[in-house]
Amino acid sequence: AQSVTQPDIHITVSEGASLELRCNYSYGATPYLFWYVQSPGQGLQLLLKYFSGDTLVQGIKGFEAEFKRSQSSFNLRKPSVHWSDAAEYFCAVASSGGSYIPTFGRGTSLIVHP
Amino acid sequence: GAVVSQHPSRVICKSGTSVKIECRSLDFQATTMFWYRQFPKQSLMLMATSNEGSKATYEQGVEKDKFLINHASLTLSTLTVTSAHPEDSSFYICSASDVASTEAFFGQGTRLTVV
């Protein structure tokens, strides 16, 4: 069975600082990997996704993520955080074969200090 | 990108009544729809997966008779919470994908409060 671990429940950064949110997955083959962002009381917005090819993936809002097979990781990064980036971030993994049914991590809450 | 509209965004109902939540794909045909429940400060818990014209597949522990899911068309799925109780209060989110897509698109969620 596939699973996702987001080890950090909360991350606090200062505005303008760099950001890295961690995500580790468990899956038998090459997975589909996703990062979503959720603002309070809202649904999920896709930031970026990895299916195959280049392991460094660029997303919206200046985010990027790197797939590292050897570490089973898909960490999300941003070089300079803005106050509007404060939100809940979810990493998800889906099977690369068959029906697309994602499994979500528990989420990481990003707090941005001015 | 594809748009999924979920309605209502907030609903308050009395214990014992039923409430229906709609999930619509506005610009694509949603062959598969997913319903999630999210508790405060927690992740999304998949409740069920529905394919158009078929019965929904429920996850273990989800009561089929309590959470009725209908996916009668390629653009609409509904979740009906029957005989609602305060413990059913939660944030419900739908997502939808089409046959060619390798991702799902999410609705904005529905905050259900049962009083």
Which tens digit of pLDDT belongs to each residue from A35-94? 999 998 888 999 999 988 899 999 999 999 999 999 999 999 999 999 999 999 999 998
Instruction: Report H helices in B1-115.
Output: none
Average pLDDT over residues A2-24: 96
**pLDDT given for residue A96 in this prediction:** 66
Residue A69, beta-bridge partner list: none
**pLDDT given for residue A99 in this prediction:** 60
Is the peptide bond preceding residue A79 cis, with omega within 30 degrees of 0? Answer: no
Is the peptide bond preceding residue B8 cis, with omega within 30 degrees of 0? Answer: yes
By C-alpha distance, the chain B residue nearest A93 is B103
Using a CB–CB cut-off of 8 Å, the residues of A that contact B are 32, 34, 36, 41-46, 49, 51, 90, 94, 99-107, 109
Give yes or no for a contact between A40 and A108, defined as CB atoms under 8 angstroms apart: no
Q: What is the pLDDT of residues B78-111, one digit of tens each?
A: 999 999 999 999 999 999 988 777 778 899 999 9
Give yes or no for a contact between B16 and B83, defined as CB atoms under 8 angstroms apart: yes
Q: What is the pLDDT of residues B30-76, one digit of tens each?
A: 888 999 999 887 889 999 999 888 889 999 999 999 999 999 899 99
**CA–CA gap between residue A38 and residue A15 (Å, rounded):** 19
By C-alpha distance, the chain B residue nearest A88 is B41
**CA–CA gap between residue B30 and residue B50 (Å, rounded):** 10
Task: Give CA separation, B54 vs A76, B33, B51, B73, in Å.
Answer: 37, 11, 5, 10
Q: Write out chain A residues lying below 8 Å of B99, CB-based.
A: none
Give yes or no for residue A98 having a pLDDT over 70.
no
**CA–CA gap between residue B14 and residue B12 (Å, rounded):** 7
Query: What integer best gives the mean pLDDT of chain B?
Result: 92
By C-alpha distance, the chain B residue nearest A49 is B103
Judged by CB atoms closer than 8 Å, whether chains meet at A101 and B97 is answered as no
Give yes or no for residue A34 having a pLDDT over 90.
yes
